[in-house]
Chains A and B, each alone.
Chain A
């Protein structure tokens, strides 16, 4: 949980920093010519499939990670609860 909290703080800090950088970006330049899409450099042609795969993968992984995180926390609390109940029973019988 501490690690998750630390990661959250780092993520929020990076997001805030990134947001500031993006906000200071100059506006896009006006277009002065039309270029056919097949003449664009490969990095600008942007196929949709990797973006789609990235989006669905992120959703599945994030949901899975959250379920695992909650299950681990619940198991840990459950164990602590059982230990305390046992200690209390021992204390009351002694």
Chain B
């Protein structure tokens, strides 16, 4: 593992220990009250979900055009993180919505597009797992759709009628809400980087195992 991994993991662990204190001290939102505090894990999870889809898509583009196996490994690792952070987003969102909106789920554009993006990532992983030889290029093509979905998810709340808050909420946040949010987002970003690196490492080791088996057969 690279030299920066352990220090960054320690910093990330300290930030994870500190974040609940900041979140607990953040004020209650006027209409939603206590349940609004789900925001501090829901939004960073959603950002990492979208970031993972972008990384997976970009790495897949590079893999398709250059054939670089390192990009393929990066795309595979990122797809797994898309599924992980997508689950966090799609579970914490309804828990918040049940109290704030009175329903678990709304078939509005953002929620539906997010679900579709998550399902694309699941399809990517299933294809890699069970698709057999050649599935990496098919999966890379699928990842492009996952990436194309990202701007759609992001801007959808500004263009279609929905009860989901718009993208103007975050830039207009008062400091008392903003500090815990950005701290939590930075913590999630560090975690994302660490998990991506360790997941890429797993694929690198698997590639070495494959190379050794091939050299034994030869």
Contacts and interface: CB of A to CB of B under 8 A. Distances in A.
Interface of A: 5, 8-9, 12, 19, 22-23, 28, 46, 48-49, 51-52, 54-56, 58-59, 62-63, 66-67, 70, 73-74, 77-78, 80-81, 84-85, 87-88, 91
Interface size class of B (residues with CB under 8 A): 35 or more
B15 interface: no
Contact of B126 (A8, A22, A49, A78): A8
A46 B146 CA distance: 35
Interface of B: 33-35, 37-38, 41-42, 45, 84, 87-88, 91-92, 95-96, 98-99, 103, 105, 107, 115, 119, 122, 125-126, 129-130, 191, 195, 198-199, 201-202, 205-206, 208-209, 212-213, 215-216
Contact of A19 (B42, B103, B115, B198): B115
A89 to B, nearest CB: 11
B98 A51 contact: yes
Contacts of B191: 63
A87 B216 CA distance: 9
Nearest to A8: B122
21 contacts: A5-B129, A5-B130, A9-B126, A12-B122, A51-B35, A51-B95, A52-B37, A54-B95, A55-B42, A55-B91, A56-B41, A58-B91, A59-B45, A59-B92, A62-B84, A66-B84, A70-B198, A70-B199, A78-B205, A80-B209, A84-B209
